[in-house]
Amino acid sequence: MKKALRIAPILAVLFLGILSSCVTDIDSLELISTEAVAIDLAVKATTAKGINSRSNKAAPTEGVNLGLAGEFAILTKSGITNVYRSNITGDVGTSPITGAALLLRCEEVTGNIYTVDAAGPLACRITAAPRLTTAVGDMQTAFTDAAGRSNPDFLNLGAGIIGGQTLEPGLYKWTSTLLIPADITLEGGPNDVWIFQVAGTLTMSSAVKMILSEGAQANNIFWQVSGAVTLGTTSHFEGSLLGKTSIAVQTGATVNGRLLAQTAVTLQMNTVNLPKIAPPVLPPPPPLLTSIGDFRDGGVVFWVNPEDNTHGLVSSLENQSDGIAWSANGDTIGTWSRGIGSGSENTTAIIDAQQRQNIPLDSYAAGLARAYRGGGFEDWYLPNIEELTILSEQLDYLEQIISNPEYNFPEIFDFSNGNYWTSSESEHPGRSKKIASTLNIRYNILDEEEESGWVAKILPASKNQPRKVRAIRAF
């Protein structure tokens, strides 16, 4: 008995140790089980919902080469049934089945109708078995190409239900059926490509539309479908439909694309248009570099912006007046701006002040400059003192270039001695109200030891005095 009592505590300790070990093992198993369930749920969720963001790809998706099949709006192997009247724009063909299985009428097709034989009632058919054989072969090759594209950007998107979504370019894959119960938008540029792989059936609900935005082109959209295709009543479909089996287009549905079926196509008062190939989008041309002396934008360039060599100032080829007043009155307007390009602001300020007094545009210098239409431009203006000074400093160089027969200047550039108005009011103390700045520009003929050339001098003048006008503009 005593021996049994001495053994009992030992057994108790051993039992507690075993129990503790079991609990620890159970906790570990529960943790493992919980993690496994979480991973399993995550996998199932991904499979059900699809991958909703595009993976980073090295290159954009390439289009599917349709070959000769691309010239057909509808091409089938087993015939075309139709409820009158449908309107098809593009070629139609069926092969290898007899022409009697093509049930469109001649007036329903704007394009050619091809059959392998002369069977059936269509008087407008073209019998062209070799062409159809090639086209059908290209259709099947295109289907195989589209189906074989790997590494999709989107897998089982929306668990096979994609209504209301905006789809970016890329490769999409569904391992089962696809339903489009609401409008979808394909958003991308004119060179972007969409390929949709559908292992099961494709169903588009009634009145649902595919919308292209941002320049997306139906020619760059490819639907590869292994099961039957149904386009619901009054729905609108975009792209080339490569069907392994039948394509059923229900009443009033429209297609901007191609129906290429390896069995039959059924129509019910539908419109199918072969999409036009959009012209390539070319990058904008590089800015036109320009130089002093160039003839462009209605005049001759006399100043080029050194920051880009693409913008600058041009002078008109002739004077707009050899004697006209600066303004109809001596009011101070405040045209003190002197920077390059600000002569346009001065001109606008002068015109606004004169128009408030109903003074005709052609009766004062700034108005006459703005009214000039050289080269078809309407933004000519009276230069400020700095702009006209720059022009005077370039006259020698301009005349050398223009007089050179190799330059082949297309117009006559005429500049004469005289006092020219600027759009700058004079800062002459005490008389600024009635005074504006002119530039006396003349050709100075010197003796043999000194070089002749154009010289200029700033002179103030009363605003009612007649002076010359030379318009310029910025480009």
Report if pTM > 0.75. no
**Based on the number of CB atoms within 10 Å of its own CB, is 92 exposed (0-12), middle (13-18) or buried (19 or more)?**
buried
Per-residue pLDDT at 2: 36
Per-residue pLDDT at 41: 31
- Of 291, 297, 296, nearest to 309 by C-alpha is 291
Q: Which residues of 38-64 are buried (b: 16+ CB within 10 A; e: fewer)?
A: eeeeeeeeeeeebbeeeeeeeeebebb
Per-residue pLDDT at 365: 94
Per-residue pLDDT at 406: 73
CA distance 217 to 219: 5
**Based on the number of CB atoms within 10 Å of its own CB, is 308 exposed (0-12), middle (13-18) or buried (19 or more)?**
exposed
Per-residue pLDDT at 100: 95
Per-residue pLDDT at 446: 65
The residue type found at 313 is L
Q: Which residues of 188-199 are buried (b: 16+ CB within 10 A; e: fewer)?
A: beeebbbbbbbb
> Which are the contacts of 16, defined by CB distance < 8 A and separation ≥ 6?
none
The predicted-structure confidence for 37-78, as pLDDT tens digits, reads as follows: 333 333 333 333 334 444 445 478 999 999 999 999 999 999
Per-residue pLDDT at 232: 98
The predicted-structure confidence for 391-448, as pLDDT tens digits, reads as follows: 999 998 888 887 777 776 767 788 889 999 999 988 655 555 578 888 898 888 765 5
CA angle at 221 for the pair 216 and 224, rounded to the nearest 5°: 165
Per-residue pLDDT at 280: 67
- Residue 418 φ/ψ, nearest 5 degrees: 150, 180
CA distance 203 to 162: 11
> Which are the contacts of 298, defined by CB distance < 8 A and separation ≥ 6?
314, 316, 374, 375, 376, 377, 380, 473
- Residue 32 φ/ψ, nearest 5 degrees: -60, -45
The stretches in the chain having pLDDT less than 50 are: 1-56, 58
The pLDDT > 90 percentage for the chain reads 65
CB neighbours of residue 161 within 10 Å: 16
Per-residue pLDDT at 370: 96
Per-residue pLDDT at 335: 84
CA distance 304 to 340: 11
Which residue do the tokens 């041009």 mark? Answer: 314
Sequence length of the chain is 475
